[in-house]
Amino acid sequence: MAGRAKACVFCGIAEGEATHLVHADGEIIAFLDHAPLLKGHVLVAPREHVETFDDLPERLVGPLFTVVQRVARAFPRALGSDGSYTGINTRVSQSVPHLHVHVVPRTKGDGLFRAGMVWVRRRYAEGEAAQLAARLREAIAAS
């Protein structure tokens, strides 16, 4: 992998460190967020260390957003969601300095947005993340 940043957790995931992967190819990885906004919240990132959206090489724009779209399309089939929310933080609120796109499954009345944007983090029950990751992998592969 080109250009791993020292101690970058997402570079580690791209190199095979344990996580709940839902997609992996030569350029892009997608995995469950460890502290999801809603259960099934996926992060999509380039394998290559790219700090911000502004730094994303043009050659990776298509591959990155193709996977974002595939994940979003998989939510209804895998999770029964009504739609999705997609977002990118660039520097401000970017907790990991490695570009990643948040793809969050949505259902009407899910409480994600209350009086504006409120990021309420949740935790998975034991074994739940592995089950959701498997369902998403299957739905992404079928798309």
The domain locations on the chain are: 9-142
Residue 30 phi, psi dihedral angles, 5° rounding = -140, 135
Mean pLDDT of the chain: 92
Task: Find the catalytic residue in 23, 41, 98, 100.
Answer: 100
Q: Clarify whether 20 is annotated catalytic.
A: no
pLDDT over 90 percentage in the chain: 82
pLDDT at 3: 58
How many Cα neighbours within 13 Å face the side chain of 122? 17
The answer to whether residue 119 scores a pLDDT higher than 70 is no
> Which CATH architecture describes the domain 9-142?
2-Layer Sandwich (3.30)
Question: How would residue 1 be classed by pLDDT, with cut points 50, 70 and 90?
Answer: very low
User: Are the beta carbons of 84 and 72 closer than 8 angstroms?
Assistant: yes
Across the range 44-61, mean pLDDT stands at 97
- State the average pLDDT over residues 102-121: 82
